[in-house]
Amino acid sequence: MSEQQGFTVWFTGLSGSGKSTIAEMLFHEFQARGMKTEILDGDEVRKNLSKGLGFSKEDRDTNILRIGFVANLLTRNGVATICCPISPYKETRDACRAQIGEFVEIHVDATVAEIAAHRDPKGLYKKALAGEITGFTGVDDPYEEPVHPELKVDTETQTPEESLQSVLDRLKELGRIDDATAMVTGERQHSGQTDLRLTETGAVKREH
């Protein structure tokens, strides 16, 4: 049996852009292919590896570099690793790319206006835009878009399924998977590795 080659799929984008939704879908696609896979979600890593860090640039960078460190360990041990933190700073993302090597950067794009209007269940964007929260990425703290990502998906115009298909197609082009056909349909049980909301049946709730 040939040994699985590890790689990292790194989703970056604003909070609420759809990173975790697509990452969760991709996780189930990898599982359906019999691949070893793990998700490193920004908020989950903060709870478990980065507890006590704040949201200064230094602390944000520290959190992302910790995610990159773990992703590198997983990747070199043959795991298809999925990362979905905001990772707002290009320099830090590039540092993770350099460390990991087998790195596929995917920009999940949606505007602040779209997210604030339709994907803000906690009202955080509303508070940030009103000045009630400061240091909020995309409002009064910068988000540096990737210059040359392996893929950009536009979740304002694409459904989650269409975004996932774009990711699968690109991964096939890059030789990371053999077949880009989506294998999982219907409700997906939660991986337990992202902060996505659940339905009453324990499935992942559609966010957009």
The per-residue pLDDT string of the chain (208 residues; one tens digit each, 9 = 90 and over) reads 457 899 999 999 999 999 999 999 999 999 999 999 999 987 778 887 777 788 889 999 999 999 999 999 999 999 999 999 999 999 999 999 999 999 999 999 999 999 999 998 889 999 999 999 999 999 999 999 999 999 999 999 999 999 999 999 999 999 999 999 999 987 766 665 666 654 554 555 555 5
Structure confidence at residue 1 (pLDDT): 42
Give yes or no: 87 in active site: yes
Query: What is the structure's pLDDT at 56?
Result: 87
The predicted pLDDT at position 3 comes to 76
| Catalytic residue selected from 15, 17, 87, 166 | 87
Residue whose token pair is 């910790």: 66
* Residue 106 CB partners (closer than 8 Å, separation 6+): 9, 10, 11, 12, 22, 149, 150, 151, 152, 153, 167, 170
Residue with tokens 């905001």: 86
Name the CATH superfamily for 7-173: P-loop containing nucleotide triphosphate hydrolases (3.40.50.300)
- Predicted confidence at residue 194, as pLDDT, reads 66
What is the structure's pLDDT at 185?
82
Which contacts (CB < 8 Å, 24+ apart) does range 142-150 have? Answer: 142/88, 142/89, 143/14, 143/86, 143/88, 144/88, 144/89, 144/90, 145/107, 145/109, 146/12, 146/90, 146/93, 146/105, 146/107, 147/90, 149/12, 149/105, 149/106, 149/107, 150/104, 150/105, 150/106, 150/174
| Residue 195 confidence (pLDDT) | 63
- pLDDT attached to residue 191: 65
Which pLDDT does position 2 carry in this prediction? 55
Model pTM greater than 0.85? yes
